[in-house]
Structure 1
Amino acid sequence: MSADPQQAKQPVSAALAGPYGHPFHPILVTVPIGAWVASLIFDLASHVAGDPAALARGALWLIAIGVLGALAAATVGFLDFLAIPAGTPAFRTGLLHLGLNLGVTVAFAVDFLWRRAEGTHGAVPWGPLALSVVALATLTVSGYLGGKLAYHYGVRVADEATQATGFRR
């Protein structure tokens, strides 16, 4: 099977996924990543700060923002995934990246529901905090795979000839 490597560089829909060489997915993932990392910081701070309930509420809503941001990033990322030829190493990497991110998003949605059920009356309980740590560790692996897709396989990144123009004298 001979796959066209240029196929993975072209969007299914430039209006939805971003123009050639400027995909929207890497921009959108900063919202859930930032919100979820901040929520973990709030979780930890709730165990040492003077007003743990306020920090626990903040972490709860940061998780919600992260889940909503992840859904937006996943929608655009799925369009990028559709451009990758099936049966290629890039496709398999993309499938694993997609699966891990889906698992992370579900874990944080469960984390949000768990926290809502328990309430935010004090420091974040150890169970939801541990779930956040595991989900963020998984997100780190998935982020590495996303970087591999962009930087190693060049998915949705300019082709080599276009990239070379930036280095001509």
Structure 2
Amino acid sequence: MANDIEQAKRPVSAVLAGPYGHPFHPILVTVPIGAWVSGLVFDIGSRIVDDPGFLARGSLWLSAIGVVGALAAALVGTLDLLAIPTGTPAFRTGLTHMSLNVAVTAAYAIGFFWRRAAADGPGPVGAGPLVLSAVSLVVLAASGYLGGKLAYHYGVRVAAESTQAEGYRSAAGS
């Protein structure tokens, strides 16, 4: 078991997934999360302001930016998943986390094309794409909870406590 825990902390490829103790996946997920949350704010704003066209266009492109960012995060996240021993609760949690993220990314890709097809003028974002974005963000939040569980409960790609202890030694105690 100790070997399984240590295995999940080490990257499959330090060049692609980030070195020990510095995974790239948590950095990359900020792009789709930020883009999609901002997109929902733009969606709502487009239904409130007098001139909604710029917000509708902005949310369209924020959806696309989020999809591209999610694909980059997924590639690196898959490498992190491959470091987790199969048949473990951590691996099953990782699979669920990945599956939810794939579903959310697909929903935003569909939403992008739906918005493009419906963009017939400077009007607000339609109710359908807005609801799709809101529901997708709820699913993304559930997936984020599982990602947090992977890192903070199971310690996936987190440095071992012996490595962490280096940061708590006082200068006098060294």
Tell me the TM-score normalised to structure 2 length: 0.94
Residues 80 and 120 of structure 1: CA distance in aligned 2, closer, same or farther (over 3 Å): farther
Name the CA distance, whole Å, in 2 between partners of 1:77 and 1:113. 26
Trace 1:2-81 onto structure 2 (pairs within 5 A).
4-81=4-81
Q: Deviations over 1:38-92 (max 9, x none)?
A: 0000000001112111110000000000000000000000000000000111101
The yes-or-no answer on 1:117 pairing with 2:117 is: yes
Residues 96 and 3 of structure 1: CA distance in aligned 2, closer, same or farther (over 3 Å): farther
Structure 2 equivalent of residue 161 of structure 1: 162
> Residue 21 of structure 1 aligns to a residue in which SS?
coil
Residues 120 and 83 of structure 1: CA distance in aligned 2, closer, same or farther (over 3 Å): farther
Name the CA distance, whole Å, in 1 between partners of 2:2 and 2:89. 12
What is the count of residue pairs matched by the alignment?
169
Name the CA distance, whole Å, in 1 between partners of 2:133 and 2:36. 8
Residues 66 and 42 of structure 1: CA distance in aligned 2, closer, same or farther (over 3 Å): same
Name the CA distance, whole Å, in 1 between partners of 2:117 and 2:166. 56
Structure 2 equivalent of residue 128 of structure 1: 129
Output the amino acid matched with 1:154: G
Structure with max Cα Rg: 2
Name the CA distance, whole Å, in 1 between partners of 2:165 and 2:18. 21
Q: Percent same amino acid among aligned pairs?
A: 69
- Contact (CA 8 Å) 1:67, 1:105: kept in 2 or not? yes
Structure 1 unaligned segments of length 5 or more: list them.
Answer: none
- Contact (CA 8 Å) 2:13, 2:79: kept in 1 or not? yes
Q: Which runs of structure 1 show a deviation greater than 2 angstroms over 4 or more consecutive aligned residues?
A: none
Output the amino acid matched with 2:127: W
- Contact (CA 8 Å) 1:53, 1:120: kept in 2 or not? no
- Contact (CA 8 Å) 1:3, 1:85: kept in 2 or not? no
Name the CA distance, whole Å, in 2 between partners of 1:19 and 1:53. 44
Output the amino acid matched with 2:15: A
Output the amino acid matched with 2:94: G
Output the amino acid matched with 1:109: A
Name the CA distance, whole Å, in 1 between partners of 2:32 and 2:152. 21
Residues 72 and 120 of structure 1: CA distance in aligned 2, closer, same or farther (over 3 Å): farther
